[in-house]
Amino acid sequence: MLFICSKCGKGFTDSSHLLIHEQGHTEEGPFICPVCAKCFKSSEELVAHQHVHTGEIPLTCVCGKGFSCASHLTRHQLIHTNETPFSCSDCDKSFKSRSELLTHQHNHTEERPFTCSVCGKGFYRSSHLLTHQLVHTGEKPFTCPACGKGFTQSCNLQRHQLVHNDKRPFKCPDCEKRFKCKRDLLTCQRGHTGERPFTCSDCGKGFTQSSHLLRHQRVHTGERRFTCSDCGKGFTQSSHLLTHQRVHTGERPFTCSECGKRFTQSSHLLTHQRVHMRQQDVQSAVAGVNHTQD
C-alpha cells in the first residue's frame, strides 16, 4: 500500500514516513527541496536542510559536535556559555532558544489545540501530535544502524546512539560528574539546587523532570495506559505492568542468597531477608547467654 502526500504527491510505503514528511508542509515556503519536497521560507534554510541528504556537517563546535546550519551551531553553543536570553513574561524563567520559550508558555495558557482522534490527548504543536500518533500505529521509523533498535523520534535515536560511544561532553560544575546528554546534566544540577520546575496543577507537588510529573499526573486522572495482554488489567506505570506479568509467567527473578527462596519483586526479597537477620540476632543472643553461663 502506498501513502500519498496530499500537498506534493510524493508516495511513502509507511504511513509514519508520510506523517513525518507532512511536517515539512506545515509552514509553507517558496523554496522546495528537490529530494523530499519539504518547503522552506528562505534559500538559506533550504541549503542548510540539504545537508541532511548529503550527510555533510561543515560547522563544528569546540566540543566536536557537528552542525549543518549556522543557527543550529549558535543555539548549541549556548550550552557551553549557560546563556538563557529568552525570558518568559509570566514567570521570569529564561531559555536558550525561542522554541523552548514558546513551548514553556503553553504551561501558563494550558492551550492544547491539536487533539489525537484516537485517544483525545491534546498537544501544543501539530508536530507533537504527529509524533504521538506513532504510539497508536506502533511504527518506529528511526532505526539505529549499530543495533537495529527503532524509535518514533529522531531526537530519541540521537540520544540512544550515545550508548555506542564513550563521549561525555556535558560536565556538572557542582560535582564535576560528566554526562552524555544535556538532559541528564540538567537533572543532576537540579539535585544540587533543589529546583523542581515541573509542578502538578492538581496538588502542587514539584518534580525535577517532566516525565516524572506526567507519571504522577496519572494518579489524579486515573489513566492506566499500560495494559496486561493476558488479563486486561491496567497500570499507571510500565514497571508495575512488568511486575504483574510475572503472575502469569511464574518468573521469580529475585533470589535469597541464604535459603534460595525466589520472589517476583525485590521489595519482597528485602522483607524476607529480614527474617534471616532476626534469626541471626536471636542465635547471637543465645550464644552470648550460653557463653556467660559457662
Q: Give the tens place of pLDDT for each residue, 5-30.
A: 766 666 666 666 666 666 655 555 66
Residue 256, amino acid = C
The pLDDT value recorded for residue 99 is 73
* Residues 6+ away with beta carbon under 8 Å from 83: 96
Query: Which one has a higher pLDDT value, 62 or 144?
Result: 144
Q: Which three cell numbers stand for residue 88?
A: 518568559
Beta strands in the chain (DSSP E): 3-4, 11-12, 31-32, 39-40, 59-60, 66-67, 86-87, 94-95, 114-115, 122-123, 142-143, 150-151, 170-171, 178-179, 198-199, 206-207, 226-227, 234-235, 254-255, 262-263
pLDDT digits (tens, 9 = 90+) for 236-259: 777 888 888 888 888 888 899 889
Contact (Cβ atoms closer than 8 angstroms) between residue 175 and residue 192: yes
Share of the chain above pLDDT 70, in %: 81
201-210 mean pLDDT: 84
- Domains of the chain as residue ranges with CATH: 224-288 (3.30.160.60)
Q: Tell me the pLDDT tens digit for each residue of 214-237.
A: 888 888 887 787 888 888 888 877
pLDDT digits (tens, 9 = 90+) for 53-65: 776 666 777 777 7
